[in-house]
């Protein structure tokens, strides 16, 4: 059995947290398995229940465990750690980098008149044409995110000749200098799942959804992409790194 080292200046709660995390990753505790109770862990490692509770709470907050009232604490399916909040990259590349298999279902792909809100974000006239793309995206065949994307038709009409089931939209846009996305402005909001999410993402009504509004710009600072994405809160977490200037 692994032990905690009380002779080193590393907090015991952190040692316990790392030990449990190691056991999750090596398969000692599998997804949906219960872990020992606070009392059992306290006696097992001869530490206080307060110390145990702190370790467990952090693992719950980080998405490794979840609690069920009167039943115990269980191993959760790990969340997908998304880095697109701090870099321009395709969904497919991010999912593959995590060792998972990405796939895309194109629900709609057509030319429409720009809705007022879309025309405003893309600096178009209200009746200008836009390309509308509605996609459901998966990781290991599990739905992860719904995305609605709008592109100015006059600048991006060539996109209509491409396959978005297997291809990356950003890679397609990047084949022309004027449509290469070089900057993205994103707005993040936490919302509750509505009927649309329940139907498309296999979530319960009212569960957590991470809503993203993104505007992509080319090198001339012209808006070329307006996207609305809804990510499952139980399957995704987003990494943001802030450095001092």
Q: How many CB atoms lie within 10 A of CB 176?
A: 13
Q: Which of 206, 199, 203, 211 is nearest to 234 (CA)?
A: 203
Cα 143 to chain center, whole Å? Answer: 11
H-run or E-run covering 186: strand 183-192
Architecture of the domain spanning 12-75: Orthogonal Bundle (1.10)
Q: Which of 189, 181, 183 is nearest to 152 (CA)?
A: 181
Cα(166)–Cα(56) distance, integer angstroms: 40
Question: So where are the chain's domains?
Answer: 12-75, 80-238
Q: How many CB atoms lie within 10 A of CB 32?
A: 10
Tell the CATH topology of 80-238. Chorismate lyase (3.40.1410)
Which tens digit of pLDDT belongs to each residue from 186-210? 999 999 999 999 999 998 898 889 9
Cα(217)–Cα(180) distance, integer angstroms: 8
Place of tokens 């025309």: 119
Contact call for residues 141 and 103 (beta carbons, < 8 A): yes
Residue 196 DSSP symbol: H
Q: Mean pLDDT over all residues of the chain?
A: 88
Which tens digit of pLDDT belongs to each residue from 94-150? 778 777 888 999 999 999 999 999 999 999 997 899 999 999 999 889 999 999 999
pTM: 0.69
């Amino acid at each position: 059995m692994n032990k905690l080292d009380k002779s080193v200046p590393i907090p015991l709660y952190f040692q316990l947290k790392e030990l449990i995390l190691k056991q999750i990753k090596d398969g000692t505790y599998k997804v949906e398995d219960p872990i020992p109770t606070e009392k059992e862990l306290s006696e097992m490692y001869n530490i206080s229940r307060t110390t145990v509770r702190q370790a467990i709470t952090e693992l719950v907050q980080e998405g490794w465990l979840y609690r069920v009232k009167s039943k115990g604490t269980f191993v959760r399916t790990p969340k997908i750690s998304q880095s697109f909040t701090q870099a321009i990259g395709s969904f497919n590349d991010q999912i593959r980098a995590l060792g998972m298999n990405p796939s895309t279902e194109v629900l709609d792909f057509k030319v429409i008149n720009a809705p007022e809100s879309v025309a405003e974000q893309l600096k178009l006239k209200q009746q200008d044409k836009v390309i509308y793309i509605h996609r459901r995206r998966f990781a290991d065949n599990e739905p992860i995110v719904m995305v609605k994307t709008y592109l100015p038709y006059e600048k991006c009409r060539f996109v209509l000749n491409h396959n978005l089931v297997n291809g990356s939209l950003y890679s397609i846009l990047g084949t022309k200098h004027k449509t290469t996305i070089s900057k993205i402005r994103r707005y993040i909001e936490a919302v509750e799942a509505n009927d649309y999410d329940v139907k498309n993402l296999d979530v319960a009504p009212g569960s957590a959804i991470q809503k993203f509004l993104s505007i992509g710009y080319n090198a001339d600072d012209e808006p070329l992409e307006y996207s609305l994405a809804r990510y499952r809160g139980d399957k995704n977490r987003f990494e943001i790194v802030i450095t001092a200037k």
